[in-house]
Structure 1
Amino acid sequence: MATMLDYINEEEAILKQIMMKYQPVAEPDLEQLTTLLILATGSSYNACLAAKATMEKIANISITIEEPYNFNHYGTIPNSVDAVLAVSQSGKSASTIDAMAHIKEKGKLTIALTGNSESPLSDMVDYLVDIDMGIETVGFVTKGYSATVLQLILLSLTIGHSKGIVAEKIDFYQRELDKVIDKIPEIIEQSNHFFERYEELFKVSSRYIAIGYGPNWGTAKEFETKFTETVRQPSQGFELEAYMHGPYLEANNEHILFFIETPSVNLARSKKLRDYMKPYVGKVLTITTEKSVDEGTLGLDINCDEFVSQLALVIPFQLLAYKIATTKGIDLNQRIFDDFDRILQSKI
């Protein structure tokens, strides 16, 4: 039986395979795209949040991300929206399918990003992008998350190419993506050592918080999802400034704070908050693309553009989620709530 760890170890090969297949091709339907609405939930939503700033920068578009169930019942489509992108790894999310059915009636261009090209979602859109990551039987998605982020960035390169963005810009981001993907085995090894250093602390901790900015706001939210699903202790991911507007008030010595950092105009503010919080919580740890400066820092030492750093910085949290759950005695191969989808009809 495959485990979450098996899929983490497959990520380098899967992402390299995606990159090898990718060729920017001009798509007439995407040439005039300036405003994109994305519908996604769960880890798909987190992946979209992680890719949003990168997509907007590369393709010169404006993106709004909505939860499909809420949008379907309470949302409206502004006239300014050129296209709607539905993201679902399974392609069977009932709320996403229902929302897209209503959107089709509005005459908007519809796009699906899914790992199942024969799914109900795939059959109802104008433009289909295959996540192309094979089968992931474990419910706690890891390689599917990373492949979704990568495909969203590549979609933005396609949109950019279709709009006439210079080839040098596309080449730059392809090189940066290759650089990060090449480092994945080393990141996994570094993350294993980091876990071993703090295993006893992780084993007894009962509250986990991650704080990120820019593309890694999405990384913080995926941390929240993965730790909630696997470690099954209170876990939250915050955008840097949002944490400073109230959530810090609950801080106590039972909290572990993870700061997700990469060189940016926001780095100094993150460091200032990190230093301030140290006396008030059980432990402050840093996951960064820069070099390690102390034992509380997992430094990946990758000189990469901030807008592709989310592909690197999510890997430690995927591995830590699996390792911490295991050290707490949680058997992730033991299925729970088996009747949930059937009774709640969240998937078809």
Structure 2
Amino acid sequence: MTMEKDMRYYVEISGWRMEQNLERRNELLSELTELYRKSERKDLCIIASGSSLNGAMAAENFLRKYSGCRVLLISPTEYLDYRREEAKEYFCIAISQSGCSTNTIQAVKGMREDGTLAIVLTGNLEAELQKDADYFIEYGVGNETVEYVTLGFSTLTEYLMLFALEVGKANGKLKDGAYQKLLEEIRISCRANSEMYRQAELFTRKYYREFLEMEKAIIISDGAGMGAAREAALKFGETLKIPALYYESEEYIHGPNMQLTPEYAVFFIDANEKHNRMQEIFAATGLVTDKIYMVTNKKTEFSERVCSVEIPVRNEVTPLFTVVLFQYIAAVVTMEKNQFKCHPLFEKFEEKIHCKTENYMKRNRKESKRCADM
């Protein structure tokens, strides 16, 4: 790959990298799996924020269904201020792709104070968080050198799914046949990620002007797709700098839909194997705004405004490819509109409140200037 390592580059290589990680899963998972097997705490608590929390949410249904454990997903603030005692009962994993999130650093310090083994998953083994962790494990993303991460979300989601399989096997939840079948569905979904990238290129070209003009967006999903929807809303907010909300499909039609006007862009992620209710909501939304879009792995009756890769996999693995369109739109539109800079007053906000360490802030200021100058 010779493409400039910008945001779009990392979206493009996600499927390829996930296939690589699948093949080297024993190497990537061995340390964490061994720590889990030795632990007296068998239920899982994941502490993360931002795209790392979204990646964990995208894997949550898979974790719950196939690990044989209770699964608790919480932010560092929720851990530190509200659920610290509860978390002591769990095998805890903190996640920070950058290794520089100040809230995760504080959570890891809290884990050590409580005598909880401080296990951290990261994409940056040189980060400041290293000195506070008992175990600092790279989960297969490498150092993604742009501020708005995409590869990190996808590889983390896959990593946690693969970890669920190892835990499920250790707990006697999964027999070898089921284990192998789930591995194959993950492999199919990694390849679907690459195919979805190609579909996203075509789809974005077709609706290019609408995406350039998009001023507010809603993302609708259900099941495992809620993690992908939350990540899509985050990406649109931080890159396109527009209000972006996400809702579960039935919750959307219980009030949030009342804000709709023809100016809204509404995206649907439909990977529900049980029925086509979301497609009915998609059609109804189209009576208010023309700017409706669907991501799916299912056959639909709609020939327009659908970005699809038709593969028969269970809902729990679909976040591995359904997020791609949103990542691609964010990457392309941000670059085309040169929207790397925030409002001038945002500098005052950053002077007052930091969510990353100073070293990270310095690096990303240089990166933002480089992107703006391209």
TM-score, length-normalised on structure 2?
0.84
Paired letter, 1:12: G
Identity of aligned residues (%): 27
Asked whether the 8 Å contact 1:9–1:185 carries over to 2, the reply is yes
CA displacement at 1:79 relative to structure 2: 6.8
Cα deviation digits, residues 56-104 of structure 1 (max 9, x gap) = 1110222222221343234333277322111110112111121122122
Matching residue within 149, 153, 162 for 1:141 = 149
Asked whether the 8 Å contact 2:45–2:72 carries over to 1, the reply is yes
Q: Which residue is equivalent to 1:29?
A: 36
Paired letter, 1:89: Q
Pairing of 1:31-110 with structure 2 (within 5 A): 33-78=41-86, 81-110=89-118
Farther-moved stretch of structure 1 (309-318 vs 131-140): 131-140
CA displacement at 1:33 relative to structure 2: 4.6
CA displacement at 1:5 relative to structure 2: 0.8
Pairing of 1:283-302 with structure 2 (within 5 A): 283-291=291-299, 293-302=302-311
CA gap of 1:281–1:34, structure 2 versus 1, over 3 A, is farther
Cα distance between partner residues in 2 of 1:92 and 1:9? 25
Cα distance between partner residues in 2 of 1:156 and 1:111? 16
CA displacement at 1:247 relative to structure 2: 1.4
Asked whether the 8 Å contact 1:27–1:159 carries over to 2, the reply is no
Show structure 1 runs of 5+ residues with no match.
none
Q: Which residue is equivalent to 1:117?
A: 125
Cα distance between partner residues in 1 of 2:87 and 2:103? 22
CA gap of 1:186–1:169, structure 2 versus 1, over 3 A, is same
Matching residue within 155, 164, 167 for 1:159 = 167
Identify, as 1 or 2, the structure richer in helix.
Answer: 2
CA displacement at 1:126 relative to structure 2: 4.6
Asked whether the 8 Å contact 1:38–1:86 carries over to 2, the reply is yes
Paired letter, 2:291: K
- Does residue 187 (structure 1) correspond to residue 190 (structure 2)? The answer is no
Asked whether the 8 Å contact 2:16–2:191 carries over to 1, the reply is no
Paired letter, 1:7: Y
Cα distance between partner residues in 2 of 1:321 and 1:299? 18
CA gap of 1:160–1:66, structure 2 versus 1, over 3 A, is same
CA displacement at 1:120 relative to structure 2: 4.0
Cα deviation digits, residues 250-280 of structure 1 (max 9, x gap) = 1111111111011323x43322322322212
CA gap of 1:333–1:188, structure 2 versus 1, over 3 A, is farther
CA displacement at 1:125 relative to structure 2: 4.0
Q: Which residue is equivalent to 2:364?
A: none
- Does residue 4 (structure 1) correspond to residue 14 (structure 2)? The answer is no
Cα deviation digits, residues 316-337 of structure 1 (max 9, x gap) = 111111223344x224499986
CA gap of 1:168–1:108, structure 2 versus 1, over 3 A, is farther
Q: Aligned with 1:183: secondary structure?
A: helix
Q: Aligned with 2:156: secondary structure?
A: helix
CA gap of 1:334–1:255, structure 2 versus 1, over 3 A, is closer
CA gap of 1:260–1:333, structure 2 versus 1, over 3 A, is same
Q: Which residue is equivalent to 2:233?
A: 224
Paired letter, 1:45: L
CA gap of 1:67–1:79, structure 2 versus 1, over 3 A, is closer
Cα distance between partner residues in 1 of 2:120 and 2:88? 20
Asked whether the 8 Å contact 2:273–2:314 carries over to 1, the reply is no
Q: Which residue is equivalent to 2:21?
A: 18
Q: Which residue is equivalent to 2:361?
A: none
- Does residue 313 (structure 1) correspond to residue 322 (structure 2)? The answer is yes
User: How large is the RMSD of aligned CA atoms in angstroms?
Assistant: 2.5
Q: Which residue is equivalent to 2:370?
A: none
Cα deviation digits, residues 206-251 of structure 1 (max 9, x gap) = 1111111111100100100111111111111222233233211211
Cα distance between partner residues in 1 of 2:257 and 2:42? 37
CA displacement at 1:44 relative to structure 2: 0.8
- Does residue 150 (structure 1) correspond to residue 153 (structure 2)? The answer is no
